[in-house]
Structure 1
Amino acid sequence: MPRTTRRTSTHTVATGLALATALGLAALTPSAALAAPPAAGPAPGYVQGALQNYAVNINAANRGQTLKVERAVAAAGGSVVESYAEIGVVIAQSDNRDFAAALRREKTVESVGATRTAAVAVTDPTYGVSDPLARGESGKGKPGARVTRTPSIEDTTAAAADPREAEQWDMKAIGADQAHLVTDGSRDVLVAVLDSGIQGDHPDLAANIDTAASASCLSGSPDSSYASWQPTTSDHGTHVAGTIAAARNGIGIVGVAPGVRMSSVKVVDDAGFIYPESAICGFMYAVATGADVTNNSYYIDPWQFWCDDDADQRAVKTAVDRAVQYSQGRGVVNVAAAGNSNVDLAHKTTDATSPDDTTPVVRPIDAGCEDIPAELDGVVTVSSTTSTGARSSFSNYGEGVIDVAAPGSSILSTVTGGGYGRKNGTSMASPHVAGVVALLKSAHPKLSGTALTDLLYAQADDVPCPTGTTTCTGPAADNGYFGEGLVDALEAVR
């Protein structure tokens, strides 16, 4: 399928509220005027069950319809976690077993979907507060060790916190070392790192973290307190951040775009889950804080692939897509990791790892089942390469799905505790691309997000399929392993 076809979204959302209201943090918080009045009582037939979160998609994205849905949520025994009138999505929470069915009967509602299969933890009455440290939270009811899926494939090799730029093979591979002779990037450019948090006082990152633009989105509603967006159980986000923009300061390493700013938008909880409400909040918060680029080194749980033939999964995918398309319509370039399952995303057959928050089942999947956000329209999907230029053995692939490739094997970057370590994964490839886009935005500040993406593709260096392979298809200029090719940081700043 031609890329221009696949990457042009046909999804449209009315933006009445957004057009009437300037973007800002206040736009993410329901105002007193929009607050639903207390419900007279639960809906008839209310039976208390497990506490669940839901994505509710409204037929028309405007203030009036949003208010009606908020009232319907309350009447059905639920509460509003967050409302996004500009995209017609309400995140709600309820323990009413008939909640989804009740909302689906509302004329203003297009679709409703549960965002997880495990119950929301009920041991903490202040679940809506998005600071896990403040709640003393550990795991949100995680059913057991997650052995089928991790955000990255890690190498435990660690290094002391001393200058390591000479060891960054990845920067040389994409010409970042040469690009830095031209520019390190502009402070006007902001990259939102949607991940597990960034260590705010890491000596190689602190100067480039925009604390005012950082927040936790774990509850589905942004919390901008400093503690909320700090990493707690994972150094994944800190590692990703170092690749994007570790500072040029005479210590440690140097990122692809060491002169740009980053925001830490925490969407990965302490158990390693990235639920839809967190990701939606992350995309919307990135827009509200003026981000130019987002990096998304994850797939959204609990389904590795969200399928259209399931009402809940289809509704959630719609809600996430609305947030993604809205951000892209506002000029944001969203970059995402392709995934680490060595799967041909263009020819899916079976998923045996989902749902990963309860008990996985083996199910057939097809083109109607997508890894999100990586496979959503307009998102830059990134595969991983090794130091020899080959596709990393773990990297997902697929003709017409992969957009570009970048280094992702044995990547040295920052980790929590102020140090450095190596990791492997498409999670490590994606931030290289986010960094190159940040350099492109620095060099061409007036270009739209779509134009920047087109330049990224045009400047990528073609990499043909390996000789003798049967799984890589397509020409050197656009194939299933490397997409348009290996990203080129030097070309970005010329």
Structure 2
Amino acid sequence: MTISPFRRWWFSLALLTLPTLGLAQSVAPPAPAPAADQSAAQWYLKDPQLDNVPGIGATRAYAELLKNLVPTPVIVAVIDSGIDTAHVDLKPVLWVNRGEIPRNGIDDDKNGYIDDVHGWNFLGGKDGRNINAETLEMTRIVAAGRKRFKGTTAKTVKVADKADFALYQKAEKVYKTRLAEETERAGQVESMAGPITEMVAKMKQALGTDKLDTIALRNARPEDPNLKRAVAGMLEMMRQTGSADADALLKELNAGLQQERSLLDNSLNLNFDPRTDIVKDNPNDLTDRNYGNNDLHGPDPLHGTHVAGIIAAVRDNKIGVQGIAADPVSIMVVRAVPDGDERDKDIANAIRYAVDNGAQIINMSFGKEFSPQRAAVEAAYKYAATKNVLLVHAAGNENHNLDVADNYPASFYMNNTTVPNLLTVGASGPKDNAALTANFSNYSKKGVDVFAPGVGIFSTLPGSIYGNESGTSMASPVTAGVAAVLKSYFPKLTATDLKRIIMQSARVHHTKVMVPGGEKTVDFSTLSVTGGVVDLYEAVKLAQKASL
């Protein structure tokens, strides 16, 4: 889980735009959200026909199709960075392991994990410490390869080592390029942080306001041409990023700056190895499953908390947001995704843990460019299939065509056959126009099954507050939430049924959109297998027919 490409794109926009503003920032912490219903901010719950918004029709589905039906319990596992289990909108929907007695230090249910009351953490040590930052997978491959293949060439490498050597050479090439890029980018962002902070402060002073939101900026009538350009530039950045005000932009920049530093200090650092000190396992021993601890919060649960809220935040408490799936859908927490690249061993074990403990749907909002132990993850996929579990995976945020670029966990098995119980999801935006495809989203006519809302998604954040995040990481739980609703109200549906119904009911768009990361315009329907955006309302209608 590296620096968000959405954030990276934001930097590019800032670096190109701000030097022309003639003015030229510190970040305020998020204010606690009022204890009131904020669900109106959830555009993605709206209906394409009734509201003219490319949402999933959740509000309409509950009002028209589900109101007289009785839901059944469904467990959705969230494999992620951790979750704020005390969040007011999440605590009531956490899965509870009834076979475990909390905090007694005993593995009561004999499943191999002590006190796993709400889930498990594969990034922790027995002493209670946890991994936060990690290296990228290519960094690990390069670090090991430089030792193992020192002085070796393609001509001298042993036949048995050829595959590993080729992987090392590929990773080495990508690593050197990435290191140079991030070093340059970090310098650019560092140099801009101060001027942008100063620019925002001067704009506030010049306009006589403490809050630079769209209303204040649009009402401004500055005579100074520099200030006029600054106002126009700020409005454009707020429009492009979906930020509510200048402080939100500063918050985004600050978070991104921290991630850029982490990339160089940790993710791309060949000598960084927190695993050996904290987890103390052998990451290459794929038979080892009983490691970690029960700390589900972890050092930074922001990502997982946001994901969990999208799926199943309490719908009827009149505060915060509404999860897509209603009670009795519950969230199982499985921590396996650090700030860096997740390890194949952890993901395989996380999937197996979720399956063994009753999850029927697993959300996987993570991904990476290399997967040296891919076979272990695919074995876990197949295990989940034998237990009728649907896997929902984020397509990734590199604006790549997955027909030609690698992204793991992959949408296909190594023999190129389709994974029957896996949905891969790209991200779409709030308007049915050229920006319907999120500019950061990966896409593929073969490897991305469907798109779902993933821009400006309002959900839960740590500390019982709420906020917007963007990414295919958000589109995946939107889809997992849809699957959970279908499974809850139509429990006889299998994992393959859920995949088929979600794909068949997706609303196909023939809107002319920009290819993510490019300037070419294409038909939206050509960017995924279905050519559509998930639609809960239509999916429920299909499920009703299938249940007759």
Question: Structure 1 length as normaliser, TM-score?
Answer: 0.58
> In 2, are the aligned partners of 1:457 and 1:484 still within 8 Å (CA)?
no
1:160 corresponds to 2:23? no
- In the alignment, residue 489 of structure 2 is paired with which amino acid? A
What is the aligned partner in structure 1 of residue 113 from structure 2?
none
Aligned residues: 313
What is the aligned partner in structure 1 of residue 61 from structure 2?
179
Post-superposition offset of 1:490:
1.5
- Taking the aligned partners of 1:160 and 1:408, their CA distance within structure 2 comes to 22
- Taking the aligned partners of 2:522 and 2:290, their CA distance within structure 1 comes to 42
> In 1, are the aligned partners of 2:437 and 2:513 still within 8 Å (CA)?
no
1:280 corresponds to 2:327? no
- In the alignment, residue 39 of structure 2 is paired with which amino acid? E
Post-superposition offset of 1:196:
1.0
* Higher strand proportion (structure 1 or 2): 1
> In 2, are the aligned partners of 1:293 and 1:334 still within 8 Å (CA)?
yes
Give CA deviations for 1:44-80 in whole Å, capped at 9, x if unaligned.
xxxxxxxxxxxxxxxxxxxxxxxxxxxxxxxxxxxxx
Secondary structure of the 1:372 match is coil
What is the aligned partner in structure 1 of residue 337 from structure 2?
268
1:384 corresponds to 2:384? no
- In the alignment, residue 343 of structure 1 is paired with which amino acid? H
> In 2, are the aligned partners of 1:398 and 1:480 still within 8 Å (CA)?
yes
- Taking the aligned partners of 1:472 and 1:194, their CA distance within structure 2 comes to 35
Considering only aligned residues, what root-mean-square deviation do their CA atoms show, in Å? 2.8
> In 1, are the aligned partners of 2:78 and 2:334 still within 8 Å (CA)?
yes
1:372 corresponds to 2:409? yes
What is the aligned partner in structure 1 of residue 389 from structure 2?
332
What is the aligned partner in structure 1 of residue 477 from structure 2?
431
Q: How does 1:221-240 map to 2 (within 5 A)?
A: 221=289, 226=294, 228-240=295-307
- Taking the aligned partners of 1:299 and 1:392, their CA distance within structure 2 comes to 17
What is the aligned partner in structure 2 of residue 129 from structure 1?
none
- Taking the aligned partners of 2:383 and 2:81, their CA distance within structure 1 comes to 23
Post-superposition offset of 1:441:
0.7
- In the alignment, residue 351 of structure 2 is paired with which amino acid? F
What is the aligned partner in structure 2 of residue 290 from structure 1?
358
Gaps of 5+ in 1: 1-145, 307-312, 349-368
- In the alignment, residue 95 of structure 2 is paired with which amino acid? D
- Taking the aligned partners of 2:430 and 2:492, their CA distance within structure 1 comes to 34
What is the aligned partner in structure 1 of residue 509 from structure 2?
463
- Taking the aligned partners of 2:503 and 2:536, their CA distance within structure 1 comes to 12
> In 1, are the aligned partners of 2:512 and 2:523 still within 8 Å (CA)?
no
Post-superposition offset of 1:410:
0.8
1:216 corresponds to 2:121? yes
Change (3 A) 1:339 1:186: same
Give CA deviations for 1:448-490 in whole Å, capped at 9, x if unaligned.
11111111111111122526868677884xx325734111112
Post-superposition offset of 1:326:
1.3
- In the alignment, residue 532 of structure 2 is paired with which amino acid? G
Give CA deviations for 1:89-122 in whole Å, capped at 9, x if unaligned.
xxxxxxxxxxxxxxxxxxxxxxxxxxxxxxxxxx
Change (3 A) 1:163 1:346: same
What is the aligned partner in structure 1 of residue 314 from structure 2?
247
* Higher helix proportion (structure 1 or 2): 2
Percent identity of the aligned residues? 34
Q: Which has the higher contact order (CA 8 A, sep 6+)?
A: 2
> In 2, are the aligned partners of 1:179 and 1:493 still within 8 Å (CA)?
yes
- Taking the aligned partners of 1:174 and 1:222, their CA distance within structure 2 comes to 39
- Taking the aligned partners of 1:151 and 1:202, their CA distance within structure 2 comes to 27
- Taking the aligned partners of 1:474 and 1:274, their CA distance within structure 2 comes to 34
Give CA deviations for 1:342-400 in whole Å, capped at 9, x if unaligned.
1111123xxxxxxxxxxxxxxxxxxxx44214555232110001111300000011111
- In the alignment, residue 87 of structure 2 is paired with which amino acid? H
Post-superposition offset of 1:305:
3.6
Change (3 A) 1:474 1:467: closer
- In the alignment, residue 189 of structure 1 is paired with which amino acid? V
Q: How does 1:389-468 map to 2 (within 5 A)?
A: 389=432, 390-464=436-510, 466=512
- In the alignment, residue 380 of structure 2 is paired with which amino acid? A
What is the aligned partner in structure 1 of residue 376 from structure 2?
319
- Taking the aligned partners of 1:490 and 1:334, their CA distance within structure 2 comes to 21
- Taking the aligned partners of 1:224 and 1:317, their CA distance within structure 2 comes to 21
- Taking the aligned partners of 2:497 and 2:305, their CA distance within structure 1 comes to 29
- Taking the aligned partners of 2:386 and 2:331, their CA distance within structure 1 comes to 21
Gaps of 5+ in 2: 11-28, 47-54, 98-117, 124-278, 280-287, 414-418, 542-548
- In the alignment, residue 407 of structure 1 is paired with which amino acid? P
What is the aligned partner in structure 2 of residue 13 from structure 1?
none
Post-superposition offset of 1:186:
3.4
> In 1, are the aligned partners of 2:429 and 2:437 still within 8 Å (CA)?
yes
- In the alignment, residue 486 of structure 1 is paired with which amino acid? V
Post-superposition offset of 1:211:
3.4
- Taking the aligned partners of 1:158 and 1:372, their CA distance within structure 2 comes to 36
> Which deviates further from its counterpart, 316-325 or 369-378?
369-378
- Taking the aligned partners of 1:481 and 1:492, their CA distance within structure 2 comes to 18
What is the aligned partner in structure 2 of residue 204 from structure 1?
89
- Taking the aligned partners of 2:531 and 2:355, their CA distance within structure 1 comes to 27
